[in-house]
Amino acid sequence: MKKFTWKPRRSLLALAILSATGTALAEQQTHHLSIAPQSMSDALKALAAETHIQIFSDGDALKGKQTSGIQGDFTAREALQKLLTGTGLTYTFTAEDAVAVKAAETGSNATTTLPAVTVAGKAVYDSTESYLVGNSITATKTDKPLMDTPVSVQVVPQQVLSDQQATILEDATKNVSGVQRVWNGEANGQDFVIRGFGTRYTRFRNGQRISNFNTDMANVEQVEVLKGSAAMLYGRVEPGGMVNVVTKKPRDEAHYSLQQQFGSYDFYRTVAEATGPLTGDKSLTYRMDFGYTDRNSFRDFVSQNQIFVAPALHWQASDKTEFNLSLEYTDRKLPYDTGIPAIGNRVANVPINTNYGQPGFKFNEDPSDSTLLDFNWSHSFNDNWKIQNGFVGNWANLHYRKVLVAVFQPLLEQGTDPMQVRRGSQFTDDSQETYLTYFNLNGKFKTGEVNHNVLLGGDYYSDETRSGGFFGFSATNAPFDSPYKMPGDFGGGSFAFSRVNLYSPNYPNLDFNAYENQRINHPNNFFVSQTSWYGLYFQDQISLFDDKLQILGGGRYDWAHLASGSSNSYTNSEDINGNYNGYVPSFNIIALAKQNEGFFSPRVGVLYRPWTWLSVFGNRTEGFGTNNGRSGNGQPLKPETTEQYEAGFKTEWFDGNLTTSTAYFHIDKKNVLTLVSDGGIYDTIGAARSQGIEVDIAGRLSDGLSLIASYAFTDARITADGGAPGNNIGKRLPNVAEHSGSAWLKYAFQQSSLKGLSVGIGSYLAGTREGDNANSYKLPGYVRVDTFAGYTTNIGPTKLTTQLNVNNIFDKRYYFTGAPYYANRAWNLPGEPITVMGSVKLEY
């Protein structure tokens, strides 16, 4: 039978003789511990190294046992109690520096007689799961307790996602301070405003950048939001922050679940999960997640059909080497929804279901598919040094078939009564290929009394997007009831144009096949974008004075390349045998504009933890944003750059079961692309500033009572402009509420007669927001209230959970507009009215 020990120095007889005094001595000495979530075997090794005690254990008893780690000041006995609770393991001190860990005997109540504790991020399926996760890898790419991380990072754990029945990523981020949802037409891509700045549809999965395709929540374990520029580790990231999705991993214990959700507007969603070992020694484990969504909407002509499949494999080749392979495939049909245009200084007062697109199934398909492949491996040379390497590829095909509201002025024809909404058409096919590879070396060592946690790494990212087809917006106001020919425009092609009444739209009978004919036989729009960069980075986390003082420093250098071009002309394509291959863009007309940039992004942070319950921190970061392309005369434009200062404090309460984070931030963004003439000429004369205060609270207030809450004061303004549309200096950035916040409270009944019953209520609020950079119209503030009730019971070996959520119970009307770089008077998406969602879930 396999066993493991650390530094054996005494015989078992000697250990038994010293047993009585050993326990007392161990209980008297307190250690500051930070043990990350991991296997029980590795956690006990880490505990042995930190406390300098010997731990003897039956290796077979530890197989499949996991712990979510601990952080704080503990005696060895207290640490063991927290690590072993709920695992079926027990321990006995046999000497002053030795302990034996073994499986509890059959019929023993050893597990239940251990002191009741709540461990943050505990990876068990339990309705009383804490809302607190103590560790995050997003901020430093090393598993670090949040209390010891000198930056702002918030985590929305699995239990919150489950209680709120989060079906889209926006359902998770609403719990985080300073994060606002934006209009995205419900199309392919998710964007957020964080600390006043948009994320430009940049999305991260397990710390790796992927292309802009919507997240399916079926395999999401938790969502992490890192505030401020993360350029030092992740390259070109917008200054407000980043959203990182952490996926579920294969487990070495079998677990199966099936959930059926159903709700308002014909919402149906099925989620299934299966995971467990594939080999007897549990070295090879698997996971399969499945999600199917079929729904309509409170918006006219909007429906969704989506299939998501995500298999994953984990191979623990040895105690020190592992391999991971995962795949995600998404097939979806989801139409583009431009929302409701603004009239004067408000969104038009029309029913929120009003859609100015075109009715008909064919006009509302927008079929798309995406395939993601993720392979990574790691090897630990010893307890202190580890290497990681991985590859991520993503291939997406996006097909647009829609009539949409125009994106330029005039949006409305006001010379007639009633007003008319101008529309255009897009029948294009896009393909996107994204590749990422990375390498990290992480090491821990000492120089004198100074502890170092060093990260050396590099990555390469490449993205190519190609678009071709038919795209048209009329420059005239001529109405029509069928496709309208306009020779001479767009290289001799023609396109369809129509108007609809603002207050009572009467949709023309458009011929879908005529649009398809334009896409196939008379394409007028081709676009190519090639983006790539590679970067090298270095980071050192220094700990002094028993880890009370921590200093984070590092930097990254990026070499970035951008090439893009467009064409409204095409040529016939024939192979060497004269066979027709379709229309392709005339690349001699496109004339790709190329640009190369290099930039160094430093980051420094300091954290002081005078007591276990308090951390005070500050940081300074710089960022390297998007390339801005070329000016009207073909000269390269400078890339966007950012600088942030942040200071704050974090606290732990109720034995570490509740944490708070408070931060003040100041961000300056320079070289913002600004329109300088009506001819579509841009220059990098723009600048913006965002500053404010954010507060986040998460965890458990008492047995059964959990809370996640946030508040943000954000003052985000344009500081340089001077473009043709007018001087916007001093204007607020769009879709940024000066005051916003959230609070979600859940109570799981502890009384035996009500055991398994949970209830909750939450509120989400945002103040008045500006609709565009010119502040020409406003979005009203709102307070939305959600509730839920759930009941869990065991039916033999199966756990049954039934749940009912009611969102926006007061039917509040509110809107989202675009991010600062994409705000438009035409596009304001209404928030959901009162909706009901039920769920039945079986687990075994």
Lowest mean pLDDT, pick from 49-63, 503-517, 655-669: 49-63
Instruction: Tell me what percent of the residues of the chain surpass a pLDDT of 70.
Output: 81
Residue 33, domain member (yes or no): yes
More reliable by pLDDT, 692 or 121: 692
Which amino acid belongs to residue 585? P
Confidence of residue 366 (pLDDT cuts 50, 70, 90): confident
Domain span at residue 82? Answer: 3-113
pLDDT in tens, 648-662: 999 999 888 899 999
Residue 16 belongs to a domain with what CATH number? 3.55.50.30
Using CA atoms, how far apart are residues 527 and 564, in angstroms rounded to an integer?
8
| Per-residue model confidence (pLDDT) at position 777 | 92
Confidence of residue 389 (pLDDT cuts 50, 70, 90): very high
| Mean pLDDT (whole number) for 353-366 | 86
Lowest mean pLDDT, pick from 58-67, 225-234, 275-284, 359-368: 58-67
Task: Report the number of distinct structural domains present in the chain.
Answer: 3
Using CA atoms, how far apart are residues 37 and 276, in angstroms rounded to an integer?
19
Residue 237 belongs to a domain with what CATH number? 2.170.130.10
Looking at the structure, tell me whether residues 322 and 306 fall in a common domain.
yes
| Mean pLDDT (whole number) for 373-390 | 95
Residue 128, domain member (yes or no): no
Looking at the structure, tell me whether residues 249 and 239 fall in a common domain.
no
Of 432, 428, 606, 460, nearest in space to 537 by CA? 460
- Residue 592, pLDDT above cutoff 50: yes
Lowest mean pLDDT, pick from 97-101, 201-205, 272-276, 308-312: 97-101
Q: Which of 244, 260, 287 is the last residue of a domain?
A: 244
Looking at the structure, tell me whether residues 22 and 165 fall in a common domain.
no
Looking at the structure, tell me whether residues 323 and 230 fall in a common domain.
no
Lowest mean pLDDT, pick from 2-6, 531-535, 665-669, 681-685: 2-6
Confidence of residue 17 (pLDDT cuts 50, 70, 90): very low
Q: Which of 244, 259, 286 is the last residue of a domain?
A: 244
* Tally of residues, the chain: 844
More reliable by pLDDT, 695 or 138: 695
Confidence of residue 212 (pLDDT cuts 50, 70, 90): low
Residue 153, domain member (yes or no): yes
Q: Which of 46, 79, 113 is the last residue of a domain?
A: 113
Q: Are 777 and 346 in contact (CB under 8 A)?
A: yes
Helices (H), 114-222: 158-163, 170-173
pLDDT in tens, 284-315: 999 999 999 999 999 999 999 999 999 999 99
Using CA atoms, how far apart are residues 645 and 623, in angstroms rounded to an integer?
12
Residue 127, domain member (yes or no): no
- Residue 157, pLDDT above cutoff 90: yes
Residue 606, domain member (yes or no): yes
- Residue 114, pLDDT above cutoff 60: no
Lowest mean pLDDT, pick from 356-370, 453-467, 683-697: 356-370
pLDDT in tens, 248-274: 999 999 999 999 999 999 999 999 999
| Per-residue model confidence (pLDDT) at position 540 | 96
| Per-residue model confidence (pLDDT) at position 633 | 63
| Per-residue model confidence (pLDDT) at position 827 | 85
Looking at the structure, tell me whether residues 204 and 293 fall in a common domain.
no
Residue 519, domain member (yes or no): yes
Q: Are 459 and 560 in contact (CB under 8 A)?
A: no
Lowest mean pLDDT, pick from 167-181, 237-251, 257-271, 662-676: 662-676
- Residue 817, pLDDT above cutoff 60: yes
Residue 281, domain member (yes or no): yes
- Residue 717, pLDDT above cutoff 80: yes
| Per-residue model confidence (pLDDT) at position 167 | 94
Beta strands in 76-185 (DSSP E): 89-95, 98-103, 135-136, 144-145, 153-156, 179-181
| Per-residue model confidence (pLDDT) at position 86 | 67
More reliable by pLDDT, 276 or 16: 276
Q: Left (φ > 0), alpha (ψ -120 to 50) or beta: where does 671 sit?
A: left
| Per-residue model confidence (pLDDT) at position 4 | 39
Looking at the structure, tell me whether residues 673 and 808 fall in a common domain.
yes
| Per-residue model confidence (pLDDT) at position 68 | 67
- Residue 245, pLDDT above cutoff 50: yes
- Residue 63, pLDDT above cutoff 80: no
Looking at the structure, tell me whether residues 198 and 255 fall in a common domain.
no
Residue 131, domain member (yes or no): no
| Per-residue model confidence (pLDDT) at position 556 | 94
| Per-residue model confidence (pLDDT) at position 559 | 92
| Mean pLDDT (whole number) for 545-567 | 89
- 220-227: strand order across its sheet: 153-156, 220-227, 241-247, 203-205, 208-210
pLDDT in tens, 766-798: 999 999 888 889 999 999 999 999 999 999 899
Looking at the structure, tell me whether residues 201 and 278 fall in a common domain.
no
| Per-residue model confidence (pLDDT) at position 440 | 96
Of 788, 796, 794, nearest in space to 841 by CA? 794
| Per-residue model confidence (pLDDT) at position 217 | 95
pLDDT in tens, 608-662: 999 999 999 999 999 887 666 666 666 667 788 899 999 999 999 988 889 999 9
Counting Cα atoms < 13 Å in the Cβ hemisphere of 43 gives 26
Q: Are 697 and 146 in contact (CB under 8 A)?
A: no
Which amino acid belongs to residue 645? Y
Looking at the structure, tell me whether residues 61 and 106 fall in a common domain.
yes
Looking at the structure, tell me whether residues 209 and 108 fall in a common domain.
no
| Per-residue model confidence (pLDDT) at position 664 | 97
To the nearest 10°, report the CA torsion of 293, 707, 779, 666: -120
Looking at the structure, tell me whether residues 581 and 442 fall in a common domain.
yes
More reliable by pLDDT, 410 or 371: 371
| Mean pLDDT (whole number) for 661-675 | 87
- Residue 414, pLDDT above cutoff 70: no
Residue 616 belongs to a domain with what CATH number? 2.40.170.20
| Per-residue model confidence (pLDDT) at position 93 | 78
Looking at the structure, tell me whether residues 291 and 319 fall in a common domain.
yes
| Per-residue model confidence (pLDDT) at position 30 | 74
| Per-residue model confidence (pLDDT) at position 487 | 33
Q: How would you label 307-346 residue by residue, b for 16+ Cβ within 10 Å and e otherwise? A: bbbbbbbbbbeeeeebebebebebebbbbbbbbbbbbeee
| Per-residue model confidence (pLDDT) at position 571 | 59
Please provide the average confidence, as pLDDT, over all residues in the chain. Answer: 82
| Per-residue model confidence (pLDDT) at position 590 | 53
Which amino acid belongs to residue 558? D
- Residue 117, pLDDT above cutoff 50: no
